[in-house]
Amino acid sequence: MAEETINKVLNWIKKSIKDEKQEKWYDYLLTIILNLVMLYIANNLLYWNLSFISNSFSSVLWAINLSLFVAIVANVSFILYASAWFKHSAKILMGFTALVAAYTVLTVFPFILSQFCDNRTCNPYYTGNNSFNRFNIYWNL
């Protein structure tokens, strides 16, 4: 019985991979609108004075803007030109720019998360006893 269920699931996965969804123009239009909203949010985060966004966010804004701008241009071009090779190459470019943006954000990390945790959750060396903790073991030899 379990083997039959596994075979059904595997056959469904194979079928869904073969039956590639035909993308419609309104899919791209919705993506363009969402990317424009994210572009607006990203460029106005510093003005909203959110407590968990540091001033170093401005140093990663170029990468976020680049990624969103490439996605918007690519989706506009998908509406105008629907060749398969063009879509695949544009999606590779969008993935690369998203990777650059993610790497830049993770490298700079313009977020202040210390306000959301206490010593027990943020400090991996905290044991609850001030006279003895793992940090002291490593440095007080």
Query: In b/e form, how buried is each residue of 50-73, taking b as 16+ CB within 10 angstroms?
Result: eeeeeeebeebbebbeebbebbbe
In sequence order, which residues have a C-beta less than 8 Å from that of residue 127 and are 6 or more positions away?
133, 134
Higher-pLDDT residue of 134, 24:
24
22: left (phi over 0), alpha (psi -120 to 50) or beta: beta
**22-58 pLDDT, tens digit each:** 788 889 999 999 999 999 999 999 999 888 898 999 9
pTM for the predicted model, two decimal places: 0.70
Domain ranges in the chain are: 24-136
pLDDT at 19 over 50: yes
Write down the pLDDT at residue 140.
43
User: Confidence band (pLDDT; 50, 70, 90) for 126?
Assistant: low
In 19-83, which ranges are continuous DSSP H helix? 25-44, 61-80
Q: CA 42, CA 58: separation in Å to the nearest integer? A: 10
- Reported as a pLDDT band with limits 50, 70 and 90, residue 3 is confident
Confidence grade of residue 111 (pLDDT, cut at 50, 70, 90): confident
